[in-house]
């Protein structure tokens, strides 16, 4: 199980920065190419913004500077810049009485995302600054690349929210300009880190990761050395098709609480149970398990960044239901329209339906927004129309889930793998079409994308008899990346497969792949002829499997969620 990322308050950050700014950043690796001295002009050619990169690095270079030196400097500079941006957002929010509610909500999103960026950058800086050599183990390199990718995603989300807020023109003008330079800086940091520390191939290490020893799932039943009361609860839960994994795998649980609307449990609401969870739990302590009995829970639930290693288990799809109806039309940002939002690392959900009932007429209305690293959903259902499931950022896994929606109903910029899931396009509004995915990768060095593996794509019954056009996806952002592998695609999918976002935007820079799919909609002979579309082979497809794309062998076995490591 992955260790927790650290959380830092602004005051602690300032102290740490003051202490580390004077540390030497000279390379000690003699025979590694990135350790060789290099000029800013040369190294900046490998970044998306060479001119900006050169202006950033030239005043801080010397004859012995190498890629590691430049990479560390850019991450440190990014941290300082993120702090300044947070101060700018807070300045605007102090004048929120002069702003509309939609503008305030967009700014509050930006503040939330800026705080996450500071955490991510501090963790990234401590990793690259604290190593004794200039190489990183594959998992640590992936951790930092994930965080730096997430910083760009968070920044873009702030931009999107402000741009969608028509009434906040003056706010947008004061924020978007500095954000433009911030984005370039974050992109340069990601590029230099990737150049210096990220292995070209994610080869799995030979050593195995230690497993926990307190809770074992054997033949679908739970065996836990806890109190008799908790053991009885867990035995009851285990009879409901839960985490059925190999006998040798083990899952550690620290405590369990019950949510029951009739008052017989520990809590009557999901939010009250979440509030009782320990903060900043260490992975070695195990999951705080919240068992949610059958019922319709009309709540907006948010799992904060401090709520780490939470596990929620319900009584089954359409039995335990968490529901809300926030939407873009009713004044919520897309980011904050979600019924259920999670940021805390290591989150696991099982046997729950997440629903947004706003309807197609309300446009963007998210059922679940997931920005939790190393998170997984097993045997869950996500139900809405436009923008159902927001796979926002970081690393995520979905197994045997049902996802219903219309326009862009799986969207975002996480590294997300969907395995053995059912994707159900449904009836949109008049004059709309369906796009199953809208992936939001904005930078070529982000390790993000949507991988749909061994899934089934069928229409909901009311869509099957109509002429509504349905596509596998469209490029939301410039480097959009989505693959369908070994999945069943029904015949209702438009033969082109993929649809433009706007004109020729991202048709050259996106990456769309299909590999060994079946069903009447899987024929690729009539697909789009974009440079970004590929019928891929097994070698390319392997890059988007659980083992390679998510490095899932290092953490998924500790969740109890079943998974296939590679291609079938």
What token pair was written down for 535? Answer: 């019928």
Q: How many CA atoms lie less than 13 Å away from 485 in the CB half-sphere?
A: 25
Tokens 């994308």 appear where?
449
* 358 closest CA partner among 321, 391, 385: 385
* Separation of alpha carbons 230 and 392, rounded Å: 34
Helix (H, G, I), strand (E, B) or coil at 181: helix
Phi then psi for residue 484, to 5 deg, are -115, 125
What is the rounded distance in angstroms from the CA atom of residue 351 to the CA atom of residue 295? 12
Q: How far apart are alpha carbons 527 and 497 in whole angstroms?
A: 6
Active site residue 540: no
Across-strand partners of 417? 397, 451
In sequence order, the 6+-apart residues with CB closer than 8 A to the CB of 233 are: 256, 258, 291
Return all residues near 430 (Cβ < 8 A) that are at least 6 apart: none
Q: Which two tokens stand for residue 106?
A: 């967009």
Task: Considering the candidates 408, 443, 554, 558, report the single residue annotated as catalytic.
Answer: 408
CB neighbours of residue 64 within 10 Å: 11
* Cα 535 to Cα 485, 496, 508, 512, distances in angstroms: 10, 13, 15, 8
Under a CB-based contact definition with an 8 Å cutoff, are residues 346 and 375 in contact? yes
Quote the CA–CA distance of 243 and 224 in Å, as a whole number.
14
Cβ atoms of residues 328 and 361 within 8 Å: no
Residue 314: helix, strand or coil by DSSP? strand
Question: Cα(184)–Cα(175) distance, rounded to whole angstroms?
Answer: 15
Handedness of CA 272, 276, 281, 284 (dihedral sign): negative
Rg (CA), the chain: 23
Q: What is the DSSP letter of 233?
A: H
3-state secondary structure at position 114 = helix
Burial 72-84 (b: 16+ CB within 10 A, else e): bbbbbbbbebbbe
Residues marked active site are found at: 408
């Amino acid at each position: 199980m992955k260790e927790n990322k650290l959380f830092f308050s602004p005051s602690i950050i300032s102290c740490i920065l003051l202490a580390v700014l004077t540390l030497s950043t000279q390379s000690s690796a003699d025979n590694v190419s990135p350790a060789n001295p290099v000029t800013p002009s040369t190294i900046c050619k490998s970044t998306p913004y060479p001119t900006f990169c050169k202006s950033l690095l030239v005043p801080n270079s010397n004859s012995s500077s190498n890629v590691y030196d430049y990479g560390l400097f850019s991450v440190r500079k990014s941290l300082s810049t993120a702090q300044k941006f947070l101060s700018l957002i807070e300045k605007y929010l102090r004048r929120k009485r002069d702003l509309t509610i939609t503008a305030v909500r967009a700014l509050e999103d930006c503040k939330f995302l800026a705080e996450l960026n500071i955490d991510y950058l501090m963790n990234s800086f401590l990793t690259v600054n604290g190593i004794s050599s200039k190489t990183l183990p594959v998992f640590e390199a992936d951790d930092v690349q994930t965080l730096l990718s997430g910083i760009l995603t968070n920044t873009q989300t702030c931009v999107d929210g402000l741009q969608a807020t028509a009434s906040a023109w003056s706010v947008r003008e004061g924020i978007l300009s500095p954000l433009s330079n911030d984005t370039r800086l974050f992109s340069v940091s990601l590029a230099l880190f990737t150049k210096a520390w990220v292995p070209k191939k994610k080869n799995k290490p030979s050593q195995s990761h230690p497993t926990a020893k307190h809770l074992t799932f054997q033949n679908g039943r739970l065996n836990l050395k806890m109190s008799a009361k908790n053991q009885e609860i867990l035995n009851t839960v285990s009879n409901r098709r839960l985490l059925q994994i190999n006998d040798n795998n083990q899952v550690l649980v620290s405590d369990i609480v019950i949510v029951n609307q009739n008052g017989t449990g520990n809590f009557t609401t999901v939010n009250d149970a979440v509030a009782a969870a320990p903060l900043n739990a260490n992975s070695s302590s195990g999951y705080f398990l919240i068992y949610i009995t059958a019922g319709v829970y009309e709540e907006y639930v948010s799992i904060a960044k401090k709520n780490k290693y939470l596990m929620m288990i319900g009584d089954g799809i359409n039995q335990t239901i968490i529901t809300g109806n926030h939407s873009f039309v009713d004044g919520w940002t897309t980011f904050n329209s979600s019924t259920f939002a999670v940021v805390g690392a290591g989150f696991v959900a099982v046997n729950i339906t997440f629903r947004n009932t706003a309807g197609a007429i309300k446009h963007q209305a998210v059922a679940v927004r997931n920005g939790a690293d190393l998170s997984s959903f097993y045997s869950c259902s996500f139900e809405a129309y436009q923008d159902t499931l927001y796979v926002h950022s970081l690393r995520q896994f979905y197994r045997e889930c049902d996802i219903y929606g219309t326009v862009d109903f799986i969207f975002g910029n996480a590294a997300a793998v969907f395995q053995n899931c059912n994707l159900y396009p449904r009836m949109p509004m008049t004059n709309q079409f369906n796009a199953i995915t809208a992936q939001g990768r904005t930078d070529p060095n982000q390790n993000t994308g949507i991988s749909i593996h061994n899934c089934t794509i069928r229409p909901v019954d009311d869509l099957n008899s109509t002429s509504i056009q349905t596509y596998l996806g469209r490029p939301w952002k410039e480097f959009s990346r989505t693959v369908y592998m070994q999945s069943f695609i029904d015949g209702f999918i438009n033969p082109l497969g993929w649809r433009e976002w706007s004109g020729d935007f991202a048709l050259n820079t996106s990456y769309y792949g299909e590999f060994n799919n079946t069903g009447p909609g899987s024929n690729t002979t009539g697909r789009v002829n974009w440079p970004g579309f590929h019928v891929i082979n097994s070698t390319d497809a392997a890059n988007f499997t659980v083992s390679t794309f998510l490095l899932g062998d290092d953490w998924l076995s500790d969740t109890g969620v079943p998974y296939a490591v590679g291609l079938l």
